[in-house]
Amino acid sequence: MAKTAVNKRDRIVVGRRKEAVARVIVKPGKGKITINGRKFGEYFPRLTHQIKIMAPIKACGVEKKYDFSAKVEGGGITGQTGAVVLGIARALVAENPDFQPILKKGKFLTRDPRMVERKKYGRHKARKSHQFSKR
């Protein structure tokens, strides 16, 4: 299993996706999710992003048991969503190790390794080359 930075006192867990980094804190509560000090529905207005964030919580069946607070920075909105999902999943495992098989089966604990490929010299973009002229 990948290393998970967990602070035992506060249960701060890190999730990453592309260039986004999410630090998630989990506490026993009533199911409130705040991201950067705002409600998660306000921070992520797209319904698809909201469903993705709720997926690991629903998979474990703990919608009303824990409060999640996340600080997200870097990347775009989709990368931040993926980072928060990974952070929540890792936080749930840190809180209760019995959730690991459920979250692993749902592929919530897998870090998505895809990153933007760097631009190479002598090319327009990472892979696009200059137009070839035979004559």
20-28 and 12-17: which strand pairing?
antiparallel
Cα–Cα distances in angstroms (integers) from residue 71 to residues 24, 29, 37, 41, 99, in the given order? 7, 18, 8, 15, 23
- Fold for 1-135, please state it: Ribosomal Protein S5; domain 2 (3.30.230)
Global confidence as pTM: 0.86
For position 103, what pLDDT does the model report? Answer: 93
Please give the share of the chain, as a percent, with pLDDT higher than 70. Answer: 93
Domain boundaries, the chain: 1-135
Q: Of how many residues is the chain composed? A: 135
For position 6, what pLDDT does the model report? Answer: 56
Tens-place pLDDT, residues 66-108: 999 999 999 999 999 999 999 999 999 998 899 999 999 999 9
Mean pLDDT, residues 37-50 taken together: 93
Provide the H-helix boundaries in the chain: 40-43, 47-60, 77-95, 100-105
